[in-house]
């Protein structure tokens, strides 16, 4: 991470990307198909990672996706995503999705997701990215929580590697 070139969260954030739900987005349960929501989260989070790093990025892991409430035909989905924290070559992007009832205007928080992206150079090798400079209490909280998640996902990846090695 290049602390001297730290960037602000708002410089790369995507705010309120609108997606109108139509019947072709619906699963056999009559609610919005989760795979469509996850693909949209991945696309939007990628844009945030590439804006922040100014490099080509790839998803390396998605460690938390919480579906809290369903959405239905006629709802409008509103996606917002931001870079919570950046380390060497990787960044955690958080994405929040709310469903808005277009008639009443009522909004429900339906999904939160945390994804890790890695910036790649022209030879497709991980490359250093700028750090994140949190500006307000909410951004500092997300920055600190991202540190906890990173420790957990790296410890988990290392445990799995050790287990596989032990089995030859």
By the rule CB under 6 A, 58 interacts with ligand COA: yes
Stretch that binds ligand COA, among 32-40, 95-103, 106-114, 149-157 (CB under 6 A): 149-157
Alpha-carbon gap, residue 149 to 155, rounded angstroms: 10
By the rule CB under 6 A, 39 interacts with ligand COA: no
By the rule CB under 6 A, 116 interacts with ligand COA: yes
Kindly tell me which residue out of 26, 38, 60, 78 binds ligand COA, with binding defined by CB under 6 A. 60
Number of residues that bind ligand COA (CB under 6 A): 14
Strands 130-133 and 2-8: parallel
Annotate 27-92 with DSSP letters as a single string.
-TTSSB-HHHHHHHHHHHHHHHHHHHHSSEEEEEEEEEEEE-S---TTEEEEEEEEEEEE-SSEEE
By the rule CB under 6 A, 65 interacts with ligand COA: no
Q: Which is nearer to ligand COA, 106 or 121 (CB)?
A: 121
- Smallest distance, Å, CB 119 to ligand COA? 9
Nearest Cα to Cα of residue 48 among 78, 92, 87, 16: 92
By the rule CB under 6 A, 118 interacts with ligand COA: yes
Stretch that binds ligand COA, among 5-13, 55-63, 65-73, 103-111 (CB under 6 A): 55-63
3-state SS track over 44-55: HHHHHHHHHHCC
| Token reading at 31 | 């609610």
Alpha-carbon gap, residue 55 to 78, rounded angstroms: 26
Kindly tell me which residue out of 35, 74, 88, 138 binds ligand COA, with binding defined by CB under 6 A. 88
Kindly tell me which residue out of 157, 158, 161, 162 binds ligand COA, with binding defined by CB under 6 A. 157
Sort 77 into a burial class: Cβ within 10 Å, 0-12 / 13-18 / 19+: buried
Q: Which residues bind ligand COA (CB under 6 A)?
A: 58-61, 87-90, 116, 118, 126, 153-154, 157
């Amino acid at each position: 991470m290049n602390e001297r070139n730290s960037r602000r969260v708002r410089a790369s954030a995507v705010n309120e990307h609108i997606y109108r739900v139509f019947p072709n987005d619906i699963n056999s349960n009559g609610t919005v198909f989760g795979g469509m929501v996850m693909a949209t989260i991945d696309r939007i989070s990628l844009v945030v990672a590439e804006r922040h790093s100014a490099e080509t990025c790839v998803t390396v892991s998605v460690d938390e996706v919480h579906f809290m409430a369903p959405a239905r035909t006629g709802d409008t989905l509103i996606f917002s995503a931001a870079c919570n924290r950046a380390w060497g070559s990787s960044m955690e992007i958080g994405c929040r999705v709310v469903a808005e009832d277009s008639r009443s205007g009522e909004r429900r928080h339906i999904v939160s997701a945390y994804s890790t992206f890695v910036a790649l150079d022209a030879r497709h090798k991980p490359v250093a990215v700028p750090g994140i400079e949190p500006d307000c209490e909410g951004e500092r909280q997300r920055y600190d929580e991202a540190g906890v998640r990173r420790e957990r996902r790296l410890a988990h990846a290392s445990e799995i590697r050790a287990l596989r090695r032990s089995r030859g």
